[in-house]
């Protein structure tokens, strides 16, 4: 059985832990590997090694650090399909979806290669007579990242390339559910020329995260995962005087105006709601039909009926299994609660299976109408292929509904009206808005800007905000006294 190594001080080492967890293929329950819950000493060794490496890494010219990112982006492109295949096995994504997971990470690495421009400070000459003020952007020290299961390539790549190119060193604690993908990312990072100690990887769960949250050497924590864990990490990290950015759960609404293109809207909605088995923090889980657009729910049902999950290399499969048997059980109990609480289930994927893979964690596309904000299927993040429909009379009502949601990760409006779009984008209290775009994830020259209960912190992930999160600004005010050698004997300027 493959035992996933730790990565400490540039060495892939076997953990001495006596606690190991199975890494399971969710399509057939095959145990692919075992991942350790690293010991206290191992986590400390990773942190200490990162602290030691920082002393020299911070002095490596930013251009050299950026060149490592250029080589890394090239290597990731070369190995994109191979990494995607690992994702397919340990998470069950379809091959196309898995390639996208890798690609969205590569784009962040490309952005990290722009570090020299992103790390420019500011300067004002003569803030007082012969006095200048200028600022430098400097790294923090040891930063850490704790990542979720659903994007095992993209989300680690949101974090460590940006932190490291800014001159920090980094300790990554990837999801224990799919650690094989991040380990491959790390091997390629080493191949790209990253020096020893700049990146460390420890495995585990709460205990290992707690040690990172309280370690005095760690200056900043990036987290992506569920709301409950994220609020805990934000509170505990800040209590220990660390910077924390925590991207957490979501409940994203798509608002559909009757003037929108019917076919385009329904096609987009089908993909955005059940794609990736609904395991996307920017996926759509509520469709809000305004006025007569509710007549399209029949088309939506017909569209979803054509979609079926399957194994990663089945070209007909629209999405894969849920990540674990527990995740599937949770989704089925929420579907049951929807029926009990009075929603109308137009399509029920609870009892779905894939021939030859009967013990996979399958859930078929599920569609509810007559959903109200009091129901659990409306309130809770389902993180499965379940779409809830709500009907309202006006755009105003739709905006109020979305704004009353405690979450604020993503939303979209489908319409042909510029006036409706402008009103929506101005009034909506959500951090990432799509106009006729169902899943508006910003490219990495912007930042990933979730709001409200979808994000705890102030500086967001990647883009300019990512650079600010991983750096300090140092502001220098300077004066130089000139003597005759500088001014010349005949100069009349009084430099004092």
Binding site for ligand NAD (CB under 6 A): 146-151, 173, 175-176, 205-206, 209, 224-226, 229, 232, 247-250, 281, 381, 383, 409, 448, 450, 454
Say which DSSP state 350 is in. T
Q: How far apart are CA 338 and CA 332, in angstroms?
A: 10
Q: Is the dihedral of CA 373, 377, 381, 385 positive or negative?
A: negative
Distance between alpha carbon 105 and the CA centroid of its chain, in Å? 10
Q: How many CB atoms lie under 10 A from the CB of residue 270?
A: 24
Q: Which is nearer to ligand NAD, 159 or 343 (CB)?
A: 159
Distances (CA, A) of 203 to 13, 33, 35, 246, 316: 12, 13, 7, 19, 35
- Residue among 58, 229, 33, 86 at smallest CA distance from 143: 58
> Which of 481, 478, 483 lies closest to 133 in space, CA to CA?
478
Nearer CB in complex with ligand NAD: 225/321: 225
Q: Would you tell me how many other CB atoms lie within 10 Å of the CB of residue 239?
A: 11
Least Cβ distance, residue 347 to ligand NAD (angstroms): 23
CA distances from 87 to 21, 93, 97, 139 (A): 18, 7, 9, 32
Minimum Å gap between C-beta 310 and ligand NAD is 22
Q: Which is nearer to ligand NAD, 368 or 456 (CB)?
A: 456
Least distance between ligand NAD and beta carbon 447 (Å): 11
Strand residues in 18-161 grouped as ranges (E): 20-24, 31-36, 123-128, 131-139, 142-146
CA distances from 263 to 84, 182, 267, 367 (A): 31, 38, 6, 18
Running DSSP on this structure, what letter comes out for residue 339?
H
Contacts of 485 (CB under 8 A, 6+ apart): none
Using the minimum distance from each CB to ligand NAD, give the nearer residue, 205 or 421: 205
Asked if 449 and 410 touch (Cβ cutoff 8 Å), the reply is no
Please report how close the Cβ of residue 150 comes to ligand NAD at its closest, in angstroms: 5
Write out the catalytic residue numbers: 281
Q: Which two tokens stand for residue 171?
A: 């300790």
Tell the smallest beta-carbon distance from residue 172 to ligand NAD (Å).
10
CA distance 441 to 256: 19
- How far apart are CB 204 and ligand NAD at their closest, in Å? 7
DSSP 370-432: S--TTSHHHHS---SSEEEEEEESSHHHHHHHHHHSSEES-EEEE-S-HHHHHHHHHH---SS
Choose between 281 and 420: whose C-beta lies nearer to ligand NAD.
281
- Closest approach of Cβ 125 to ligand NAD, in Å? 41
Residue placing its CB nearer to ligand NAD in the complex, 88 or 282: 282
Find the helix packing angle between 62-78 and 95-112, rounded to 10°: 170
Is the CB of 149 or the CB of 362 nearer to ligand NAD?
A: 149
Q: Which residue's Cβ has the minimum distance to ligand NAD?
A: 225
Q: How far is the CB of 410 from ligand NAD (least distance, A)?
A: 9
CB 172 within 8 A of CB 159: yes
Residue closer to ligand NAD (CB basis): 206 or 422: 206
Two tokens at 81?
A: 């399909």
Euclidean distance between CA atoms 387 and 251, whole angstroms: 11
- Rounded-to-integer distance, Cα 268 and Cα 288, Å: 14
* C-beta of 229 vs 300, nearer to ligand NAD: 229
Q: Shortest distance, CB of residue 320 to ligand NAD, whole angstroms?
A: 15
């Amino acid at each position: 059985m493959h035992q996933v190594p730790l990565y400490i001080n540039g060495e892939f080492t076997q953990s001495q832990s006596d606690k190991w967890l199975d890494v399971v293929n969710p399509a057939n329950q095959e145990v692919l590997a075992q991942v350790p819950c690293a010991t206290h000493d191992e986590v400390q060794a990773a942190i200490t090694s990162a602290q030691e490496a920082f002393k020299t890494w911070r002095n490596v010219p930013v251009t050299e650090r950026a060149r490592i990112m250029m080589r890394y982006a090239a290597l990731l492109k070369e190995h994109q399909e191979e990494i995607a295949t690992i994702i397919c096995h340990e998470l069950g994504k379809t091959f196309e979806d898995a390639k996208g997971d890798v690609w969205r990470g590569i784009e962040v690495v490309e952005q990290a290669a722009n570090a020299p421009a992103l790390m420019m400070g500011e300067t004002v000459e003569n803030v007082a007579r012969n006095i200048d003020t200028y600022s430098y952007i400097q790294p923090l020290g040891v930063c850490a990242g704790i990542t979720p299961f659903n994007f095992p390539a993209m989300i680690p790549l949101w974090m460590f390339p940006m932190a490291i190119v800014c001159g920090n060193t980094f300790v990554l604690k990837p999801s224990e559910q799919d650690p094989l993908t991040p380990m491959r990312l790390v091997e390629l990072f080493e191949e790209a020329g990253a020096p020893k100690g700049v990146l460390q990887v420890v495995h585990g769960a709460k205990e290992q995260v707690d040690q990172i949250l309280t370690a005095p050497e760690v200056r900043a924590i990036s987290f992506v995962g569920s709301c409950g864990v994220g609020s805990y990490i934000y509170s505990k990290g800040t209590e220990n005087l660390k910077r924390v950015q925590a991207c957490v759960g979501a409940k994203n609404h798509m608002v559909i105006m009757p003037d929108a293109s019917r076919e385009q809207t329904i096609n987009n909605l089908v993909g955005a709601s059940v794609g990736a088995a609904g395991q996307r923090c920017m996926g759509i889980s509520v469709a809000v039909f305004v006025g007569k657009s509710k007549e399209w729910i029949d088309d939506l049902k017909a569209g979803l009926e054509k979609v079926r999950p399957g194994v990663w290399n089945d070209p007909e499969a629209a999405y894969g299994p849920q990540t674990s048997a527990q995740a599937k059980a949770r989704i089925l109990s929420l579907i049951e609660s929807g029926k009990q609480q009075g929603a109308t289930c137009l399509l029920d994927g609870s009892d779905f299976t894939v021939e030859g893979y009967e013990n996979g964690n399958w859930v078929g596309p599920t569609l509810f109408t007559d959903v109200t904000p009091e129901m659990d299927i409306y309130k809770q993040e389902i993180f499965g292929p379940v779409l809830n429909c709500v009907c309202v009379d006006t755009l105003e009502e739709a905006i109020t509904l979305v704004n009353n949601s405690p979450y604020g990760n993503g939303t979209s409006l489908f319409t042909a009206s510029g006036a409706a779009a402008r009103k929506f984008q101005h009034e909506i209290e959500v951090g990432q808005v799509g106009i006729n775009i169902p899943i508006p994830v910003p490219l990495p020259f912007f930042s990933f800007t979730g709001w409200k209960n979808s994000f705890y912190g102030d500086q967001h992930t990647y883009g300019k905000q990512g650079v600010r999160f991983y750096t300090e600004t140092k502001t220098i005010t300077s004066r130089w006294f000139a003597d005759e050698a500088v001014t010349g004997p005949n100069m009349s300027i009084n430099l004092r």
